[in-house]
């Protein structure tokens, strides 16, 4: 059974993960409006990943006989100055989520909740991948600038991304 303090912290992380999904879905919608469907696809897949993360915590709380309490989600922004600005915002957000996960780990250690600590190790590793993935696109966008063929090449590449639940190998479709 999970203690109340850890239960509350994990419920807060469910909110963070759902906000992440909401943010990336908003980014996907914005990319659609500027006709960058590959960028929109990448963000839509990211939305699915964030929903997977929220559900993983949801299921863990239930397995530990905790109570899931879904919380209000703030409205995300709905436009950015450029594709680079959107991905820089996503990178900053992923850094925020990494901080939240780290805080949960420290809380689990303080509460001597080894099961939660082990569970959170997956998220620690996932955040390393999340930050690296977004930063790679930020760096590519900085290299190609805001206009021209480079954006369209990146758009084409991002359009090939598909959602593969973590733990399964990625396959192109």
- Calculate the average pLDDT of the chain: 95
Residue 173 placed within a domain = no
CB proximity list for 13: less than 8 A, separation 6 or greater: 57, 100, 101, 104
Residue 165 placed within a domain = no
Q: Write the burial class of residue 137 (CB in 10 Å: 0-12 exposed, 13-18 middle, 19+ buried).
A: buried
pLDDT at 151 over 50: yes
Q: Dig out the tokens for 40 from the structure.
A: 């929109």
Q: Write the burial class of residue 130 (CB in 10 Å: 0-12 exposed, 13-18 middle, 19+ buried).
A: buried
Taking residues 81-105, report their average pLDDT: 98
Residue 21 placed within a domain = yes
Q: How many domains does the chain have?
A: 1
Q: How confident is the model at residue 172 (pLDDT cuts 50, 70, 90)?
A: very low
57-69 pLDDT per residue, tens: 999 999 999 999 9
Alpha carbons within 13 angstroms on the beta-carbon side of residue 160 total: 8
Crossing angle of the two packed helices 83-110 and 114-144, in degrees rounded to 10: 160
pTM above 0.85, yes or no: yes
Residue 135 placed within a domain = yes
The range of the structural domain enclosing residue 30 comes to 4-157
Tell me how far the alpha carbon of residue 17 is from its chain's centroid.
7
Residue 162 placed within a domain = no
Alpha carbons within 13 angstroms on the beta-carbon side of residue 164 total: 10
128-141 pLDDT per residue, tens: 999 999 999 999 99
Q: How far apart are CA 97 and CA 38, in angstroms?
A: 24
Q: How far apart are CA 161 and CA 113, in angstroms?
A: 37
Q: How confident is the model at residue 171 (pLDDT cuts 50, 70, 90)?
A: very low
The domain that holds 52 is classified in CATH as 1.20.1260.10
Give the total residue count for the chain: 173
Residue 119 placed within a domain = yes
Q: What is the sign of the dihedral through the CA atoms of 128, 130, 131 and 133?
A: positive
Residue 147 placed within a domain = yes
Q: How confident is the model at residue 168 (pLDDT cuts 50, 70, 90)?
A: low
15-27 pLDDT per residue, tens: 999 999 999 999 9
Residue 12's CB: how many other CB atoms inside 10 A?
16
Residue 171 placed within a domain = no
């Amino acid at each position: 059974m999970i203690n109340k303090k850890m239960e509350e912290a994990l419920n807060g992380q469910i909110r963070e993960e759902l906000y992440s999904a909401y943010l990336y879905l908003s980014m996907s919608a914005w990319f659609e409006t500027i006709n960058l469907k590959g960028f929109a696809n990448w963000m839509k897949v990211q939305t699915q990943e964030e929903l997977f993360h929220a559900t993983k915590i949801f299921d863990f709380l239930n397995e530990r006989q905790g109570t899931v309490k879904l919380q209000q989600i703030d409205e995300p922004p709905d436009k950015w100055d450029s594709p680079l600005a959107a991905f820089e915002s996503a990178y900053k957000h992923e850094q925020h989520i990494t901080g939240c996960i780290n805080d949960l780990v420290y809380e689990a250690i303080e509460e001597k909740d080894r099961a939660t600590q082990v569970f959170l190790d997956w998220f620690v590793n996932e955040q390393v991948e999340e930050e690296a993935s977004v930063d790679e696109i930020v760096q590519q966008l900085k290299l190609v600038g805001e206009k021209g063929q480079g954006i369209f090449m990146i758009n084409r590449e991002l359009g090939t991304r598909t959602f593969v639940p973590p733990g399964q190998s990625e396959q192109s479709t």
